[in-house]
Structure 1
């Protein structure tokens, strides 16, 4: 099932919420920035999966990839903002 970019955006929204739940704590940008990072992470995960030739067929695999992408970007964002605030 291929949802395209719109599907990855919707999955990214939910994955961003889930990523925030899995990574509690204060984020420098707040809740909205966290959700936007989740959407960006989902899109990134979708494109990386296509480039690497990994099959993310089915909504469960897409959701898993999107959640991992969201968490990866949230971790990266926290690291960057922590270093910049020093």
Structure 2
């Protein structure tokens, strides 16, 4: 599992995002779909696989991948804002 943590500090790892962190990011995101939000929460907070959450919430894997990338970008953006606060 060591090799997994090669990304920057802002990178969101599946299963390693706290519920509070996820809630704050999702609140300032443009993601409004309840089922996408739930699927993302299961993925980032609970560490469920993409295929499982897609099946559970009836979400296309391509759509989930796009939203995961969107949330990763938002996390990076927020991280880069830190020096100004």
| TM-score (structure 1 length as normaliser) | 0.38
Larger helix fraction of residues: 1
